[in-house]
């Protein structure tokens, strides 16, 4: 297959993922949850691993700056290593939520696979503690993260780049919806 054909196929897959009606309709629910948090002077807390952590960090900043929603991201090396060393890597996000989350906050967890043990643990703890949980995942339709949150967005692809780009695109769509 020629490079141009591969590129067309790749772009078509990406567009199909980000323009999935079932998933994009959930963006309005995310917008509503974030606006409710802002109205009640609560915050939105983002977390992820690897590239998902970078997406969470970018989103947190944009929601704070552009949308007027107080947002934080658990993506600081000292926090990750301190909580990871003290409580185990699989527990560090849940432990950070214990210290930083307040009643009425929205927790957003981003995981391409939807299978990261630290994300799953944090998701279960967030639900147990009554936070509004929004998840972003991809790959396997039956990944465990997809069934835990109140609002669960899923990117139907097995390509990291497409899943991660879809998560970023969707989050920025919500930011733009709020600021417009």
Span 91-100, pLDDT tens digits:
999 999 999 9
Residues 6+ apart with CB under 8 A from 129: 97, 101
138: left (phi over 0), alpha (psi -120 to 50) or beta: beta
What pLDDT does residue 136 have?
Answer: 98
What pLDDT does residue 1 have?
Answer: 80
For residues 137 and 143, the answer to whether their CB atoms sit within 8 Å is: yes
Q: Is the pLDDT of residue 2 over 90?
A: yes
What pLDDT does residue 180 have?
Answer: 76
pLDDT mean over 143-159: 97
d(CA 172, CA 87): 33
pLDDT mean over 148-160: 96
What pLDDT does residue 173 have?
Answer: 96
Can you list the domains of the chain with their CATH numbers? 3-179 (3.40.50.10490)
d(CA 180, CA 177): 5
What pLDDT does residue 12 have?
Answer: 94
Band of the pLDDT at 107, cuts 50, 70, 90? Answer: very high
pLDDT mean over 53-67: 96
Band of the pLDDT at 34, cuts 50, 70, 90? Answer: very high
Band of the pLDDT at 3, cuts 50, 70, 90? Answer: very high
What pLDDT does residue 71 have?
Answer: 97
Of 137, 138, 70, nearest to 106 by C-alpha is 70
């Amino acid at each position: 297959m020629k490079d141009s054909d591969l590129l067309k196929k790749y772009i078509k897959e990406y567009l199909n993922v980000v323009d999935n009606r079932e998933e994009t309709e959930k963006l309005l629910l995310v917008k509503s949850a974030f606006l409710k948090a802002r109205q009640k002077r609560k915050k939105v807390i983002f977390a992820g691993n690897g590239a998902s952590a970078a997406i969470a960090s970018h989103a947190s900043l944009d929601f704070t700056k552009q949308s007027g929603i107080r947002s934080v991201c658990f993506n600081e090396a000292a926090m990750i290593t301190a909580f990871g060393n003290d409580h185990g890597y699989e527990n560090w996000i849940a432990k950070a939520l214990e210290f930083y989350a307040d009643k009425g906050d929205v927790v957003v967890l981003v995981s391409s696979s939807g299978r990261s043990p630290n994300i799953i643990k944090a998701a279960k703890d967030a639900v147990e503690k009554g936070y509004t949980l929004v998840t972003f995942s991809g790959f396997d339709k039956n990944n465990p993260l997809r069934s835990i949150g109140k609002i669960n967005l899923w990117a139907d692809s097995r390509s990291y780049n497409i899943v991660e780009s879809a998560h970023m695109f969707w989050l920025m769509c919500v930011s733009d919806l709020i600021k417009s």
